[in-house]
Structure 1
Amino acid sequence: MRMQSVIRAIYPAQCVACDAQTESEFGLCGACWRETKFIGGLICDTCGAPLPGEDTGTIEQCDDCMTIARPWDHGRAGLIYTGIGRKLVLGFKHGDRTDLARPAAIWLARMARPLLRDDTVLVPVPLHWVRRVQRRYNQAALLAHALGRELGVPVCSDALLRPKKTKPLEGHSRDARFAALSGAIVPNPKCADVIAGKPVLIVDDVMTSGATLAASAEAAKAAGATHVSIVTLARVVKDA
């Protein structure tokens, strides 16, 4: 405890989104917390997007999930992809901010817990090996492992593979995203026994159209998963 106090005196805890000092490690300062749009209240049961109105306990869906066939059962997201939330996701994904996996998992755990079933396995969305080498890490895998520790749930990092290298999908239409991801993600035969006959919770950093998550869910079902849900750190929301 004395050593920790000395370290804290030399290196005080800082907000993960800015340089402001905080009372604890891996947290947000008051200003950044107020500016971060955490998702709560009435949400879409399929993707986790926030919906207008009050939560009355009934199952609701957003417009997209009512018109697009989703190959998973339930979905949740931790925060809206805008402002501080967008800054954190981009830093985590492209800025070597691997330290963000820990606070992200804490925020996401509250949304993910209701999706857990007996023997649930967390499975991250995979990266193509070229992109994995370029980025040096798979942010979805880091998030899955941090979330697994927070929830006490096993993680299988290699359950899904991405043998098809796709171009960056930013700025593409919804149809183009789904076309590009068709057949891009497949089950790993070496890990078939890990998820076959078990419920799977797929983990990713952000959901835009849902094309990547759809390809991952289809691959998990092809591997024998009995129930598939998805959870993402952030959700892109129209007019957020």
Structure 2
Amino acid sequence: MNGYKKYFLVVLSAIFSISVCAKSVVIVDEIKNNDGSAWMVEKNDKGYYVKYTNARGKEYGNSTIVSSDLEESNLLLDTASIGIVSLVMNYPRDAYIFNFSSGNIPHLISACKRITLPSADQQQVVALLILCSKDNVTRNMILSSADANKLFSSENLILNGSVKTLIGNDRAFLFDENKKNKKNNPYLIKGDVVEIIGYENSMLKVKYNSKTKSDVAWINFIDVL
């Protein structure tokens, strides 16, 4: 009899644990494709889990690509185009956008970081600086192996399109092509207009107007924040 009671209690405990775990999982967003494949973002007590199930029922997942501190309302799945799904994470200043294919294997197509900057155009409130992972970094990467830290490491990013913005620091010192201070330590001041035309290891290549001509130099990334 005692053995039966112990067995009953073990089974009851297991059922209760499964029930609690099931209740703790929240579906944040999902997309179902016409071929039967589906994307889903789940949240549990440990964080977020991005899951893709292909048309054959095979599942791929990633539990690290989404930061656990992100609010559910700032995370979404979007159909970018036929066969491509975007995972978008919005923060106060930045947005992280991952594009995946929805085929047999969910290949990572691109990973970009969109940064909001003050606009140099009076008709626009903000300017968007977009940095994307280099092709040799995203190549052969799939949902299960996507590593946000690697993808968005400063040495693995390139600029996607130029953008005009304003210097944010009181002084932004100018560097040459070798990333060394220019002669006489010239600098731009807060409010000066620059066009960002390049990016490399947390430094920005900018075009600006001097007193007599247009010039090009490198500045620190923080100088436009």
**TM-score category, normalised to shorter length:** under 0.3
Larger radius of gyration: 2
- State the structure with bigger RCO (CA 8 A, min sep 6), 1 or 2: 1
TM-score normalised per structure 1: 0.25
TM-score normalised per structure 2: 0.26
Structure number with the higher helix fraction is: 1
Structure number with the higher strand fraction is: 2
